[in-house]
Each structure stands twice: as C-alpha cells, then as structure tokens.
Amino acid sequence: MLEYYNYIKSLHLIFVITWFAGLFYIPRLFVYQIEAFDKPSPDKEILGKQLKLMAKRLWFIITWPSAILATLFAIWLLILMPAWLEQPWMHVKLGFVVLLFGYHFKCHHIYKQLQNDIIKWSSNQMRMWNEGSTIILFAVIFLVVVRDAVNWIYGVVGIVLLSVLLMLGIKLYKRIRNKNPEA
C-alpha cells in the first residue's frame, strides 16, 4: 500500500486546499449577506436570495465535501505511517486540525443563522472572523514543513504578529471604507 502513498498525500493536499478555499470565501459571503440585509428593498431581497444560494452551493458542494475527503485521506496517511503519531509536531498539528474543525462548525452555525435571516454579527466582526482560517493555515503549514526544527517561541511570536497584522489591515480597510463607501 505504500506505493500509493504519494497519490494519497496528493489527494489529501488537494482537498485541504479546496477546504480552505471554502473556509476563506464563506465568511466573505457572510459579510455580503450581513451588509445586504441593511439595504433597502428590492436590493435587500434580490441580493439576499442570490447570496444565500451562493453560500449554500459553496458550503455543500465544495467546503463540506472537501473537509470530509481531506480528513479521510489524512486518516489513510496515518494508517500508512503510524510512526507520525509518535512525533510531537504531529500532536500539535492535530491540535490545529481540531481547532480548524471548531472553526468549520462555527461557520456552519453562522451559515444556518444567515440562511434564516438571523443576523448576530456585524460585517466588521465577520471580517475579523474571516482571518481565523488564515491563522490556522499559517500555523499548520509552518509546522508541517519545519517540523521538529521549529523554535516554539519564534513560532508563537510569528502567529501573534500575523494576527496583529491581519487585525491592523482590517482596521485600515474600515477607515478607508468609511472615507470612501464605494471601496
């Protein structure tokens, strides 16, 4: 079965990429849905209907299937390479994967609320939420590529700095947008 290892790993990576693509885009659709809710009729209804359809297709045709397939191929890889489960970097990676699933399930909860016109987040809060998957992606990629050579202090500082830069970028965008509503 090891002769199929690279094929399984390739499929795992493809579905991780498409899963993240869905997780990057779904909160952006949430932002648009939240903003459309404040528009006057008929824009509110037209945009709301279209954005709900886009979110539904993204969520159930791309994001959920990708999450499931990425997980199945990951399990298959771990069955082929059980020694990885003894590696400290793999424990940390799996911790981030659990965090990613938590993020995914929260997005599903938000998705269901917005499909029922329940707005509990501001568009700015959703923009910040949108960066959660980015932070998890950075952590996992660096962890997998660098593995045991990771200096944990630098890794933690790097993730914190990335988070701060993302939040500053969101605040800067909000200022620009407030000055120019068309941006």
Q: Which residue numbers belong to the known binding site for heme?
A: 12, 93
Annotated binding-site ranges = 12, 93
Q: In terms of Cα–Cα distance, which of 13, 9, 27 is closest to 134? A: 27
Separation CA 40–CA 122 (nearest Å): 17
Q: CA 129, CA 110: separation in Å to the nearest integer? A: 11
- Cβ atoms of residues 138 and 162 within 8 Å: yes
Crossing angle between the packed helical segments 123-130 and 132-146, to the nearest 10 degrees: 10
Is the peptide bond between 40 and the residue preceding it cis, with omega within 30 degrees of 0?
no
Residue 46 structure tokens: 């037209």
